[in-house]
Amino acid sequence: MDIREIIVVEGKDDTTAIKRAVGADTIETNGSAINDETLQRIEHAQTKRGVIVFTDPDYPGRRIRAIIEEHVPGVKHAFLAKAKTIAKNGKGLGIEHASDADIRKALENVYTPNEYVQVEEITLEDLMTAKLIGYPQSKNRRNRLGEILNIGMTNGKQLHKRLKMFQITVEQFAEAIAQLDQEENNV
């Protein structure tokens, strides 16, 4: 797999996993305390080769992703489900624990935001109707929806923003909800 872009990860162990899986170049944020110098390096990388943000599916990873999105518009995003990033001993979570195959699959499904394309917006009412917000099982449904659509874990407010950012169409959303409902009915 040939990746032209520079992949932004959280730390050295993530870099090791990326190099093992795909041999790509990385920039490390050194955790959620991302500084201005690192943001400048990411911005420079975006202008030269493009950037793929590939952070852990936890709060610090989502925080880093949000900071980068705010400061470096147009970056691409790769996501892995939380279950694919848990350490074998169960005491750790992160890209560094994912299999090479899972890392490659996530990088094959990179999202590229396109601010010039207009899609019909999925409303907050749509999210409530789909039981993604305001219901006891909403968090579980959002997490599974994030896996199906390959957009990562979110809370309700983030979900609305991320669906818009990744230009998920009403049709894609409806198909994902149908799959989610079918999975729940088969349990």
pLDDT category at 125 given cuts 50, 70, 90 is: very high
Is the model's pLDDT at 135 over the cut of 80?
A: yes
The pLDDT of 81-105, averaged and rounded, is 87
Q: What is the mean pLDDT of residues 22-46?
A: 92
In this model, does residue 11 exceed pLDDT 70? yes
Neighbour tally for 136: CB within 10 Å: 7
Return the DSSP state at 117.
Answer: -
pLDDT over 60 (residue 120): yes
Whether the Cβ atoms of residue 39 and residue 46 lie closer than 8 Å to each other: no
Distance of CA 146 to the CA centre of its chain: 8
Please give the pLDDT value at position 26.
Answer: 96
Q: Which pLDDT value is given to residue 118?
A: 63
Q: What pLDDT is recorded for position 139?
A: 94
Cβ-contact 163, 151 below 8 angstroms: yes
Averaged confidence pLDDT in the chain: 89
Give the residue range(s) of CATH 3.40.1360.10 domains in the chain.
6-108
What is the reported pLDDT for 32? 78
CATH pick for 6-108 out of 3.30.750.210, 3.30.413.10, 3.60.15.10, 3.40.1360.10: 3.40.1360.10
Other C-beta atoms lying within 10 Å of the C-beta of residue 161: 12
What average pLDDT does this structure show over 4-32?
94
Query: What is the Cα–Cα distance from 93 to 87, expressed in whole angstroms?
Result: 6
Note the pLDDT of residue 99.
93
Burial of 176-187, coded b for 16+ CB within 10 Å and e otherwise, reads: bbeebeeeeeee
Sign of the CA dihedral with 73 first, then 78, 82, and 87 last: negative
* 84: pLDDT strictly greater than 90: no
pLDDT for residue 115: 57
